[in-house]
Amino acid sequence: MSDPEIRAIAHEVVFNSGGEPISATDIGELITRVTNELPHPDDVSRVSARLVAGGWPLADPHAGQPTYPDPDAVAASVARLRTLPPLVFAGECDELREKMAAVGRGEAFLLQGGDCAETFDGVTADNVRNKLRVLLQMSVVLTYAASVPVVKLGRLAGQYAKPRSSDLETRDGVTLPAYRGDAVNGFDFTPESRIPDPGRLLDVYHASAATLNLVRAFVTGGYADLRQVHTWNTDFVKTSAVGQRYEQMAAEIDRALSFMNAIGADPEELRRVDFHSSHEALLLEYEHAMTRTDSRTGAPYNVSGHFVWIGERTRQLDGAHVEYFRHLRNPIGVKLGPTASADDAIALARTLNPDNEPGRLTFITRFGAGRIRDGLPPVLEKVTAEGISVSWVCDPMHGNTFEASNGYKTRRFEDVIAEVQGFFDVHRAVGTWPGGILVEMTGDDVTECIGGGEELTEAGLAHRYESVVDPRLNRVQSLELAYLVAEMLRDA
């Protein structure tokens, strides 16, 4: 089928909607209909591509925002969200900002981790505990092996919305709106499930509240007590090579604790940890409804998470997300991918942190293993030369995703390590502090990223692939990463 013919069909699809802007949901249905008229499946994706990317009138004023079929239902959810209690306190966000300032000064290291996309079904005690457990293990490894204070930040209790590279997903010739996270629509591949449902925004609130409640209980109620360092090392991890290495370290920590006990030292810091929550603040309806004026200072805080970030796809200087974030008092992050120039970064910093306040702004770089050594230096050098106060964090996941030969979306553990190593090397060369890592990981024994000490192969991906969007490091890979990063930190 020729381009003009495809264009004609696409035109017809648009005019079938009466010339009105049409939503992603409608497009999904229309394209499924058009599919029946097209002789070859490739033509379907060509039509989709034209509809979505070719300047057709999509009713999607803000990048990454769903188009809800019923505006009244959205208004009702937003109105309800506005009445609900905060999930975090402004004072806690201020504490985290202070900690991020220490990261920016090179006095601490950020460990930020959790699922790519949380799911409502994943809100179980086991799941939350497993994630927390591996974060605690990673944090102890980094602190003990590198003697650097670690700021612990969960990518959890709010990470329910995902930006997608395509509005549509096609399976076996059927095209539907893409899954955008449990905050928006269902993962099931049916037209009903993929319709954006604003009732889910309330589910996000309740799922986040339940998760945060449990995390708070774990970190203050004894589970995070350093004397539990052995009990975090359980089941499949304990028998792995890295689990045994951890066991030796835990024994050393035990001896040190016994010594402290013998001399009568029992600092409170050993009994509990500071732990904060973070997510990408993508859905403006939700995030805005969860923004409250702090009674102490009169300043607006997003009270759905301590730290929120702007994603790579929504960091346009004149975009809705930058405009929203500029008013918040929370510590905030911005992703910088390979297309970000030094001038982009400087303009973002000037807009989002006009007072150049330490701890307020974090740049999370995600260039990819093959590009970080060329892409990061010019940005880092120019931002530093401008005297901009920012913490630098490496996301070694999002620039390293590819589709395996068997169709699974995956990442190579080796690429993840190579990007972190590149990040450390570039910072050392420029004379700046490699402030932390943001990783997509889970506390379970999943098979989503290939490589690592257990040498997971592409064929092995099928064994236990559970992520609904991007592949995560499993618990053994996460611990291996922590040891490798600890070595890099020691050298830094």
Ligand X SMILES: C=C(OP(=O)(O)O)C(=O)O
Give the footprint of ligand X on this chain (CB under 6 A).
116, 163, 280, 311-313, 335, 366, 398
User: Cα separation of 46 and 7, whole Å?
Assistant: 9
Nearest residue to ligand X, using CB? 311
| Residue 162 sits in the site that holds ligand E4P (CB under 6 A) | yes
Selection from 379, 377, 269, 288 nearest residue 327 by Cα: 288
In the bound state with ligand E4P, the residue whose beta carbon lies nearer, of 99 and 279, is: 279
Contact between residue 400 and residue 368 where contact means Cβ atoms under 8 Å apart: yes
Question: Which residues, numbered 457-486, are part of the site for ligand E4P (CB under 6 A)?
Answer: 469-470
Q: What is the DSSP letter of 480?
A: H
Selection from 301, 287, 324 nearest residue 208 by Cα: 287
Contact between residue 94 and residue 278 where contact means Cβ atoms under 8 Å apart: no
**Residue 118 assigned ligand-binding role:** no
Residue ranges of alpha helices (H) inside 308-442 are: 320-325, 342-352, 372-385, 413-430
At closest approach, how far in Å is the CB of 137 from ligand X?
Answer: 22
3-state percent breakdown (helix, strand, coil) of the chain, nearest 5:
45, 15, 40
| Residue 182 sits in the site that holds ligand E4P (CB under 6 A) | no
From the list ligand X, ligand E4P, none, pick the one residue 164 interacts with, judged by a Cβ distance below 5 to 8 Å according to partner type: ligand E4P
Question: Which H or E element spans position 175?
Answer: strand 174-177
Selection from 396, 452, 456 nearest residue 421 by Cα: 396
At closest approach, how far in Å is the CB of 28 from ligand E4P?
Answer: 15
**Residue 152 assigned ligand-binding role:** no
| Residue 200 sits in the site that holds ligand E4P (CB under 6 A) | no
Query: Strand 401-403 vs strand 291-293: parallel, antiparallel, or unpaired?
Result: unpaired
In the bound state with ligand X, the residue whose beta carbon lies nearer, of 140 and 183, is: 183
| Residue 171 sits in the site that holds ligand E4P (CB under 6 A) | no
C-alpha of 366 from chain center: 12
From the list ligand E4P, ligand X, none, pick the one residue 165 interacts with, judged by a Cβ distance below 5 to 8 Å according to partner type: ligand E4P
**Residue 116 assigned ligand-binding role:** yes
**Residue 155 assigned ligand-binding role:** yes
Report in angstroms the alpha-carbon separations of 28 from 56, 78, 166, 407: 14, 26, 11, 22
In the bound state with ligand E4P, the residue whose beta carbon lies nearer, of 102 and 153, is: 153
At closest approach, how far in Å is the CB of 156 from ligand X?
Answer: 12
Q: Which two structure tokens, joined as six digits, stand for 180?
A: 């955008």
| Residue 338 sits in the site that holds ligand E4P (CB under 6 A) | no
| Residue 116 sits in the site that holds ligand E4P (CB under 6 A) | yes
E strands, 206-354, are: 275-280, 291-293, 300-302, 307-310, 332-336
Contact between residue 446 and residue 454 where contact means Cβ atoms under 8 Å apart: no
At closest approach, how far in Å is the CB of 164 from ligand E4P?
Answer: 4
Contact between residue 397 and residue 114 where contact means Cβ atoms under 8 Å apart: no
**Choices 98-106, 157-165, 253-261, 292-300; region in contact with ligand E4P by CB under 6 A:** 157-165
Dihedrals φ, ψ of 251, to 5°? Answer: -65, -40
From the list ligand X, ligand E4P, none, pick the one residue 278 interacts with, judged by a Cβ distance below 5 to 8 Å according to partner type: none
From the list ligand E4P, ligand X, none, pick the one residue 366 interacts with, judged by a Cβ distance below 5 to 8 Å according to partner type: ligand X
In the bound state with ligand X, the residue whose beta carbon lies nearer, of 38 and 135, is: 135
**Residue 449 assigned ligand-binding role:** no
| Residue 415 sits in the site that holds ligand E4P (CB under 6 A) | no
User: Cα separation of 438 and 434, whole Å?
Assistant: 12
Question: Which H or E element spans position 456?
Answer: none
Report in angstroms the alpha-carbon separations of 123 from 77, 300, 407: 21, 29, 28
| Residue 416 sits in the site that holds ligand E4P (CB under 6 A) | no
| Residue 186 sits in the site that holds ligand E4P (CB under 6 A) | no
At closest approach, how far in Å is the CB of 423 from ligand X?
Answer: 14
| Residue 165 sits in the site that holds ligand E4P (CB under 6 A) | yes
At closest approach, how far in Å is the CB of 399 from ligand E4P?
Answer: 10
From the list ligand X, ligand E4P, none, pick the one residue 335 interacts with, judged by a Cβ distance below 5 to 8 Å according to partner type: ligand X
E strands, 281-329, are: 291-293, 300-302, 307-310
**Residue 272 assigned ligand-binding role:** no
In the bound state with ligand E4P, the residue whose beta carbon lies nearer, of 164 and 230, is: 164
Binding site for ligand E4P (CB under 6 A): 116, 162-165, 398, 401, 469-470
The annotation places the binding site at: 116, 155, 312-313, 335, 366, 398, 440, 470
The annotation places the binding site for phosphoenolpyruvate at: 155, 312-313, 335, 366
